[in-house]
Structure 1
Amino acid sequence: MSGHHHTYGPSGMGTVVLDIGGNTGALVIVTGPEWHGHEIEISPKGQDPSVRQHVAVRDRHVADGVRYTAVFPALPAGAYVIWRNETEEAGTVVVAGATVTEIEWWPRP
C-alpha cells in the first residue's frame, strides 16, 4: 500500500471496464470503508518488487449497497504480492486468465 490518498466520488454500477480473456484476468480486492481513497499496490511474485501497480480503493454503489474495492482491470495470469506498505508483504493472490479473482482484505491502512 502506498502513502497516497485520493478523494474520488462514488462509482456506480457498470462504470468499471475489465479487459479479460485468454491469459489476462482481473483482480478485485474488497476491503472496508477505512481504505476509501487509499492505494493498494501489487507486484508479480518472484519479480522485481519495486515494479508495482497500484489502484485506489473506491466506494462502489452496487445493487446490494456499497462495497469498497480496488479493481485491477487487466493482469497477466499469475501470482501477485499484495503490499502492506513500501517494504512489507501482506500476502499473495493468484489471478487466473479470463476470470475475475475477488478477495477480501481487511488490514488497517
Structure 2
Amino acid sequence: MADSLVLDIGGDIGALVIHTGPELDSAEIELSPVGFDHQRFHNQVHARHLPDGVRHNAVFPRVHAGEYRVWRDHDTVHGTVRIEGGQVAEYTW
C-alpha cells in the first residue's frame, strides 16, 4: 500500500518535497526564509512506500510563498528553493 500525505496549500501557501537518498532516513532538514536565517523550521526525512518503490523525502506540507534556504547543517546552506502559493515545489538533495 502506498503512503499518503495531506498538503495544506492554497492562496499564498505552498508545499515542499525534498527528495533525498536513503542515507538521510530520519535526518532533520531545516529551511529558513532567505535573509532570515534565525527563523528556521525543520521536518524529518521518511521512507515513503510508493507503487514503484521506496523513496526518501522530507515533506513540508504548509510553507508561505517565498524564497527559502535549505540547510545542509547548522552553518552550511545546501541550496535555495522558491515556494509558490497553491503549488508543490520539489528539491533534490
Same fold by TM (over 0.5)?
Answer: yes
Q: Distance in 1 between matches of 2:13 and 2:70?
A: 18
Normalised by the size of structure 1, how large is the TM-score?
0.81
The offset of 1:13, in angstroms, is 2.0
| Alignment-derived partner of residue 48 in structure 2 | 60
The offset of 1:45, in angstroms, is 0.6
Aligned-partner SS, 1:27 = strand
Matches within 5 A, 1:23-42: 23-42=12-31
For these two proteins, the number of residue pairs brought into alignment is 93
| Alignment-derived partner of residue 92 in structure 2 | 104
Matches within 5 A, 1:80-99: 80-99=68-87
1:78 maps to amino acid: G
Q: Identify, as 1 or 2, the structure richer in strand.
A: 2
Q: Distance in 1 between matches of 2:83 and 2:62?
A: 10
Structure 2 unaligned residues grouped into runs of 5+: none
Identity of aligned residues (%): 50
Aligned-partner SS, 1:34 = helix
Structure 1 unaligned residues grouped into runs of 5+: 1-11
1:38 maps to amino acid: A
Structure 1 counterpart of 2:3, from 5, 13, 28:
13
The structure 1 segments of at least 4 consecutive aligned residues displaced by more than 2 Å after TM superposition are none
The offset of 1:88, in angstroms, is 1.1
2:19 maps to amino acid: V
Normalised by the size of structure 2, how large is the TM-score?
0.94
